[in-house]
Amino acid sequence: METVSDYAWAPSGVTERGARLQPPNNIEAEATVLAAMLLSGEVVEEAIVFLLADDFYRPVHRTLFSAMHDMYDQSLPIDSISLIDYLKSIDKLEAVGGEAYILDLIGNTLALVNWQHHANIVRRDAMLREIIGATNQINALAYDAPTDTKEVIERAESMLLSVTAREVRSSYKPLIDFMREAYLEAEEVARAGGEAQGVPTGFPSLDRMLLGLREGQLVIIGARPAVGKTSFALNLALNAAASGYAVGFFSLEMSGKEIAQRFICAHAQVNMSNFRSGNISPQEWVNINEATEELSKLDILIDDTPGTTVTEIRAKARRMLHNKEKAIIILDYLQLVSPPAGRRAESRAVEVSEMSRALKIMAKELSVPVVSLSQLSRQVESRTGKRPQLSDLRESGSIEQDADIVMFLDRSSSEQEAARDDRPDEGITRIVLAKNRSGPIGDVDLVFMPASTKFFELERED
């Protein structure tokens, strides 16, 4: 007796014996849906939203569905007589079996009873056919793969995701539903005393302005070299993970081991130089062991692949955060991201623009906040005051446009600079919240402990 496993390996639905397997379909379910559309205008309105013409396997049914869709678009009445007349006008009546087939459909008066169930069958079989088509394309792609295998993987993944895209699409909702969501969110924030409802940064004043980092947001953190943007990003990662969030950390500059060293020293409050040189006191060993044990419980995933592309980041992030309800992505840093292989733009500014846009799309697709570090242009060094501003974002103004939140780290580089009234005091790192699409902007002063690479918010009373 033959089973499905006998044919599982055969490409394009061809069995080992040469017989072609018929793609999934249900002609009776298709006919029932079409009959229900002929019997009810309400069914037409629902069916043309839920189904596409290509969901119908039988060409005759595909033609009939398209005809009724066109008639609906033209505000024509849809019934057996009108449909026959319309098909005559476009010279397709005989192609669908003539008047006899239309009258046969209209005779199925029970079609209205379970038409939604039959529509689900039609859509299910269409999706299965799409999966078969996608796997055949992936099979052909693997046999004739371009040089960049990473691009092959991304294209294959995109093919499969495109099949399910319609199944997870969001539908329209009335305003009252969105108002209800907004009201419930306001209630939650009020009950929490105004505390962050998104991913907390760990710095109270910043969280009060941002109400946490929200899903779908692109957050840009800019700073001049050696100001501490990587250390700040690591602090964000630790604080988010400690609050129960999964963290996907993409480091294009530092190795995973270096990041682990910083995590341990920040958590254990141990001098980084002493840790690397092995000059560690007995008490510090106790702190390190406790920190290592506590850090091992946090859900932090690190990818330190150099020269990665946004395409790779998106694919890896999707796998990292699979089945994670609460998560955040952190990228260090934007200007080190490589353009897609073989698709270099005419300028680096255009490439960075495409990358920032892709990061924003990724944030919305994965429904997580994406935090990306960014370098600032050198013009900030020559400007009096040196306070960073949005125009300082290096290589592309589109970063500012794509970002929901833009923060700058600002620190005086010398005692003379710190003595100025318009510069942060010595030892202070100022968070300049320059853009906040959903709230206020302002400054938050932090104390940076360079030995342990740890930030603390400066209490106003101090």
Per residue in 369-396, pLDDT (tens digit) is 999 898 777 666 666 667 777 777 765 5
Name the most confidently modeled range: 97-106, 314-323, 339-348. 97-106
Asked whether 40 and 50 are in contact (CB, 8 A), the reply is no
pLDDT at 306 over 60: yes
In the block, residue with structure tokens 């953190």: 221
Say what the pLDDT of residue 415 is: 75
pLDDT at 429 over 70: yes
Average pLDDT for residues 72-97, to the nearest whole number? 90
pLDDT at 5 over 50: no
Say what the pLDDT of residue 345 is: 56
Q: Which residue has the higher pLDDT, 308 or 360?
A: 360
Establish how many alpha carbons lie within 13 A of residue 34's alpha carbon, considering only the half-sphere containing its beta carbon: 32
Indicate the range of 2-11, 257-266, 297-306 predicted with least confidence: 2-11
Say what the pLDDT of residue 20 is: 60
pLDDT at 163 over 50: yes
Asked whether 381 and 398 are in contact (CB, 8 A), the reply is no
Say what the pLDDT of residue 56 is: 95
Average pLDDT for residues 167-182, to the nearest whole number? 61
Please report, for the chain, how many H helices and E strands are present, in that order.
18, 9
Edge-to-edge order in the sheet of strand 246-251: 300-303, 246-251, 327-332, 370-375, 218-223, 405-411, 428-436, 442-449, 454-457
Say what the pLDDT of residue 102 is: 92
pLDDT digits (tens, 9 = 90+) for 202-243: 888 888 888 888 888 899 888 877 778 888 888 888 888 888
Question: Which H/E stretch holds residue 157?
Answer: helix 149-164
Say what the pLDDT of residue 11 is: 45
Residue 178 binned pLDDT confidence (cut-offs 50, 70, 90):
low
What CA dihedral angle connects 287, 293, 297 and 302, to 10 degrees?
80
Average pLDDT for residues 154-174, to the nearest whole number? 63
Say what the pLDDT of residue 185 is: 64
Question: Can you tell me the distance from the alpha carbon of 249 to that of 302, in angstroms, rounded to the nearest whole number?
Answer: 5
Q: What percentage of the chain carries pLDDT values higher than 90? A: 16
Mean pLDDT of the chain: 79
Residue 187 binned pLDDT confidence (cut-offs 50, 70, 90):
confident
pLDDT at 276 over 60: yes
pLDDT at 367 over 90: no
Say what the pLDDT of residue 138 is: 82
Q: Which residue has the higher pLDDT, 400 or 2?
A: 400
Question: Can you tell me the distance from the alpha carbon of 184 to that of 186, in angstroms, rounded to the nearest whole number?
Answer: 5
pLDDT at 8 over 50: no
Say what the pLDDT of residue 284 is: 81
Q: Cα angle vertex 183, ends 178, 184, to 5°?
A: 100
Q: Cα angle vertex 223, ends 363, 209, to 5°?
A: 60
